[in-house]
Amino acid sequence: MKGPSMILNQITIPCLDYSASVAFYEALGMVRIVEAPPRYARFESADGSGATLSLHAVSAPVGSGTVICFDHPSADALDAHVEDLKAQGLTFVTEPTDESWGWREARLRDPAGNEVCLMFAGKVRRFPDWRVDGRTG
């Protein structure tokens, strides 16, 4: 059964330290568009795509398994962004690496422990060889 036509609109993730988390996502290049400190902030992607990400303050860790991915226009742009963030003092779990599934990724964690994947996937993001409907673009 085909579901309704939809686009990804919003991702809300927990944060333990509101100020640290806001600073982290702004350092990544997200633009803050809503704020209700110390409990909530919403950001949008600087590229104008309309994608948004929200932080919601919690008093204790909520678990693991969330990975937030930010795509870049090229592998060079990804690598440059990683170097810029490292110069700002952010620590990476993994350096930019060409993965077997066709993406180039670098990973770090936000102040609440959520995993953040900075990536370049190009066409492979939407149209990998193993895409269910077989579309290639």
**What predicted TM-score, i.e. pTM, was given to this entire model?**
0.78
83 assigned to some structural domain: yes
1 assigned to some structural domain: no
Q: Which of 40, 49, 47 is nearest to 9 (CA)?
A: 49
79 assigned to some structural domain: yes
Show the domain range for 32.
Answer: 10-57+64-125
Euclidean distance between CA atoms 103 and 75, whole angstroms: 9
pLDDT of 93 higher than 70: yes
2 assigned to some structural domain: no
CATH of residue 74's domain is 3.10.180.10
Model pLDDT for residues 119-131, shown as the tens digit of each residue: 998 888 878 887 7
Question: Looking at the 3D structure of the chain, how many domains does it have?
Answer: 1
5 assigned to some structural domain: no
137 assigned to some structural domain: no
Given this model, what pLDDT does residue 50 score?
Answer: 79
Given this model, what pLDDT does residue 133 score?
Answer: 79
94 assigned to some structural domain: yes
Model pLDDT for residues 4-31, shown as the tens digit of each residue: 556 666 788 999 999 999 999 999 999 9
Q: Per the omega criterion (within 30 degrees of 0), is the bond before 111 cis?
A: no
136 assigned to some structural domain: no
